[in-house]
Amino acid sequence: MEPGNGTQISEFLLLGLSQSLEQQPLIFGLFLSMYLVTVLGNLLIILAVSSDSHLHTPMYFFLSNLSLVDICFTSTTVPKMLWNIQTQSKVITYEGCITQIYFYILFAVLDNFILTMMAYDRYVAICHPLHYLVIMNPKLCGLLILVCWILSALHSLLHNLMVLGLCFCSDLEIPHFFCELNRVLQLACSDTFLNNVLIYFLTPLLGFGPLAGIFYSYSRIVSSIRAIPSAQGKYKAFSTCASHLSVVSLFYGSVLGVYLSSAASQSSHSSATASVMYTVVTPMLNPSIYSLRNNDIKRALERFFGRYANCSNLKECP
């Protein structure tokens, strides 16, 4: 294929996690199972929050949005991977690759922003409990989520527009299971200096900026918890943050681990395998982390399925 601009490229090849045909059924079964668990678990969180009026609070509003984003984030990459394994094809169209880049960046940044909003919510709840419902009112919560969506969409659109102006050569093999932006840029024949500047400028801004906000929120939370006189009060205050801290540690730990290991090993296969942690494993584990230690979620699901069981027994719904 002759070099040309982006519109002349018809397709890319996704090499996936392994070239071995014997491993393909195992990879298919593993990723299908993880995807189904991810979708089911996050749907249950959304169902619990939406069906129970006791959970119509800022904390659970952000949690349900996080679950929605996690479903979308995983659905951006895994179904195409499963389809390619099932059809024994490595092809992804140029349009499909550009679309995958857009939504991958969109939902990754959204995940980052929503985790920051959840840290701010916990900061207000613990440090300013008497003004919590006034500060974290529904209008502010809705506005924060809207701003997160707008910023994420604009950020993703900017990267996509830069990619659309690139020329690609005959080597169109991507050593990954999805169209990861850096891997696509490495296939370009034209100058990617502006693309790389954009990545190196915006990644710290939109990545470490929110992370700094999370650190600040929890530094204030720790100070407030230390001022609580009773041990029981300290435990109760900290327990409201434990699940969020676990999710933050898992998300940022896996992302940093992937990029640090990639920089050290320079291995495309190792990078693709490691990226499974934050693209698939983290969204799968989030519902478990929030539901295992959260009695409110458990009770909401019990009430919902209890009503559903009664409805089925009576063969009528209210």
Q: Does 41 score more than 80 pLDDT?
A: yes
pLDDT value, residue 160: 95
Residue with tokens 């900290």: 238
Average pLDDT, the chain: 86
Residues 94, 149 contacting (CB under 8 angstroms): no
Domain ranges in the chain are 4-291
The amino acid present at 59, given as its one-letter code, is M
Number of neighbouring beta carbons within 10 Å of residue 101 = 21
Instruction: Report residue 275 as tokens.
Output: 């990226």
pLDDT digits (tens, 9 = 90+) for 135-182: 999 999 999 999 999 999 999 999 999 999 898 887 789 988 999 998
Number of neighbouring beta carbons within 10 Å of residue 225 = 18
Per DSSP, the three-state class of 4 is strand
Q: Does 44 score more than 80 pLDDT?
A: yes
Ranges of beta strands (E only) in 10-134 are 11-14, 91-93
Q: What are the angstrom distances between the C-alpha of 34 and each of 29, 45, 78, 282, 285?
A: 9, 17, 9, 10, 10
Q: Does 32 score more than 60 pLDDT?
A: yes
pLDDT digits (tens, 9 = 90+) for 185-219: 989 988 899 998 988 888 778 888 898 999 999 99
CB burial readout 14-30, b (16+ within 10 A) else e: bbbbbeeeeebeebeee
pLDDT value, residue 3: 41
Percentage of the chain beyond pLDDT 70 is 89
Q: Does 265 score more than 60 pLDDT?
A: no
Domain 4-291 has CATH 1.25.40.10: no
pTM: 0.90
